[in-house]
Amino acid sequence: MHLTTVSQDHAVFHEGDSVHRIENLASGTQHEVFDTSFETLPDLGKRVARFATVNDVHFGETQCGVTADPDMGPILSVPEQSTPYPEVMNSGAITEMLAIEPDAVLVKGDLTSDGTEVQYARFLEFYEGAFGGRLHHVSGNHECYKLPEIRTGSKIRVDLAGVTLATIDTVRSGSAGGTVYPDDLDWLTELSRESANPIMVFGHHQIWDPATPYRSKDYFGIQPNESEEFIDLMAGLDNVLGYFSGHTHRNRVRYFPQTGDFPWVEVACVKDFPGMWAEYQVFEQGILQINHRISTPEALDWSEKTKLMYQGTYFDYAFGDLSDRSFVVARF
C-alpha cells in the first residue's frame, strides 16, 4: 500500500492495481490512514484557476526499459496487436485531466519516441483533439535527435487568473542533455518586468545542482554553466515562483541556497511507472502542485508491470517522496 497523492481534502493510496481514495478530509490537518501518517495541503482561500501538465509521453515507443547497459533489464513491450502502451497511458491521463476541466494543459517535451512527423501527428490527434486551444507544448530531446527536428515551445506565454505560465526551449540538437538560451533568459527577464501575475516557468530538461563537485561536460539535463546562469537569474526575479520540468522520469523537488524556497521541480513520465500527470490549483493565497497517478484499469495494469525495471531500482527512483508529489509551490 503506497500513499500516492494528498490534496486539501482527499488522499489516494495504490495497492497494486487497486485504488483507495479517502475523501472529506480537513485541510492542513494531520491524518492517519492505513497506518500512514500525512498532512493534507493547506487552505489557500478561493481557487481562481486550475491547469495540468504532462511530460515524456513518447508516442510511437514500442520498447520500455531500454538502456545502453543490456544487463539493466527487463525490457518490456506489448503484443503487436495490442494498443500501444503510450496510447494506453496517454488516454488515461487525458481522461483524468478532462475531468478537472483545466484552464490550460501544458506538455513538457518528449512528445514522441523518434521525432517523426507520424508520431507527432498522433500526439496532436490525442492532445489537440481533447484540449483544443487550451493545449500548449514544448519539444524534448526525442524531437531533436534527427532532421528535420520538431522544434516547438520557446517563449510561450499563457495568462491565467492569478498566474502566468512561461515556457522555454531547453533542447540541444542531437543531444539528450539540455541548455538554456540567452534569448529565452532575456525574454524571462522582460516578462518578469511587465507581468502583473506571478510567473511559473516550464521546460523539458532539469537543472544541474550547483553543489555537485564534478562538472560534467555532457550532463543529462541543463549543462552546468547554463544551469548556473539560469539559477542566478531566477534568484533575482522576485515574481517567478519556480521551474517545472520532466526528462528524468522521476518525481523530485530540489531547493538551492541561491534561490531559497523557489522549487526546481521534476515530474515523472506518463508512459510507464508511475504514470503521472500534475495538477496545479491557483488560489488567492498561493498555488498547489498535486501529482496524480494515472488510474484507469488499463494504465495501472501497464504501470504495475514497469515499476521494477532497471533491476528493481525504478520504483524508488521514479516515485519519489510525498513531498515531491504534493506540495505548496508558493504562498501569496
Give per-residue pLDDT as tens, 13-59: 999 989 999 999 999 999 999 999 999 999 999 999 999 999 999 99
Per-residue pLDDT at 165 exceeds 80: yes
- The x, y and z cell numbers of residue 156, run together, are 510561450
In this prediction, residue 154 has a pLDDT band, given cuts at 50, 70 and 90, of confident
**Mean pLDDT for the chain?**
95
Provide the pLDDT for residue 297. 96
Q: For residues 15 and 69, is the Cβ–Cβ distance under 8 A? A: no
CATH 3.60.21.10 fits 47-331, yes or no: yes
Identity at 286, one-letter amino acid code: G
- The residues spanned by each domain of the chain are 1-43, 47-331
DSSP E strand boundaries for 115-228: 135-138, 157-160, 163-167, 199-202
Instruction: Say which residue, 73 or 266, is predicted with more confidence.
Output: 266
Which of 231, 228, 326 has its CA nearest to residue 281? 326
Provide the pLDDT for residue 81. 87
Provide the pLDDT for residue 69. 82
Task: Give the separation between CA 3 and CA 1, rounded to whole angstroms.
Answer: 7
Neighbouring C-beta atoms of residue 117, cutoff 10 Å:
10
Give the residues across from 14 on adjacent strands.
2, 19
For cell 514544448, the residue is: 138
